Amino acid sequence: MFRQELTQMGHAQVLLKEDHGVPYIEKRHATDVEMHFYLNIAPQLATLGVHTPRLYHCDTENHVLQLEYIPTPVTLEALNEDSRCFRQLAAIHHFSRLPEHPKRLHQWTEQQTVQALRHLQLPGTAEAHLHQLRAQSETLFYPHACLSGDSNAGNWGIRDNGDLVLFDWERFGEGSPAIDLAPLVKGMGDLASYQAIAERYLAHSSLLSKPTLIQHLILAKAWIVVDVVNILKDRNKPDADTYLNWFRQVLPAWLHKHSGDV
């Protein structure tokens, strides 16, 4: 049987496998959050026009998911120009999650910040700006909306019939819509790119005002840096140094420019 390792940033092991010529994804060590999502949430989201991979099998005892393989990747630029992306994210954000539904807890703690800064070794002024943003980030994690929690371009694909599909739901949770929108901004972004993303999204949602959403996008971008740096180092990812070097180059100026915009 054909198999290919596709694991990226998550805890789960992701394999592309084939059965009688039909490819599928097998996700091992799937979280309770993601298994519950595919069993109970995905069918409800489908009625709202949100496309997720079809569930072929869920082994809750062994934490294994077998899912539809989405063959065609999507570029970040294509997502930015595709209104279906923003329409589906808005539908997710307007979905009413029941209290008993398991969710991923999103948070930005002081400890996480200190850990990331230890890896990054930024100038003192930049460190102070990052601490300043974290101190204002509580609003980012209010239960404004349901979230995919991981909507970067690598988690979108296109079916053979043209459907735009969002996969990888182990971070399904609650918070500001900006958490799902920030990964759609290339690099760290600037005010113009945040405004453009906000305008495209707000054509489909009125959960937040444009000024508030832009403020949340800045906070979300900073938080994602902390989260990504810690994941890369904690899990000994081979490309960690490449990411860290890029952050060291761009973060000081970005933090200096945007710490006063929140």
- Summarised one tens digit per residue, pLDDT across range 164-197 is 999 999 999 999 999 999 999 999 999 999 999 9
Domain ranges of the chain: 73-259
**For 86-132, how does the pLDDT look when each residue is reduced to its tens digit (9 = 90+)?**
999 999 999 998 788 899 999 999 999 999 999 999 999 999 999 99
* Residue 3 neighbours by CB distance under 10 Å: 10
3-state secondary structure 33-49: HHHHHHHHHHHHHHCCC
CATH number of 73-259: 3.90.1200.10
- Look at residue 142 and tell me whether its pLDDT is greater than 60: yes
Query: What is the spatial distance between Cα 187 and Cα 199, in angstroms, rounded to a whole number?
Result: 19
Phi and psi at residue 134, to the nearest 5°: -60, -35
With cut-offs at 50, 70 and 90, classify the pLDDT of residue 6. low
pTM of the predicted structure, to 2 decimals: 0.94
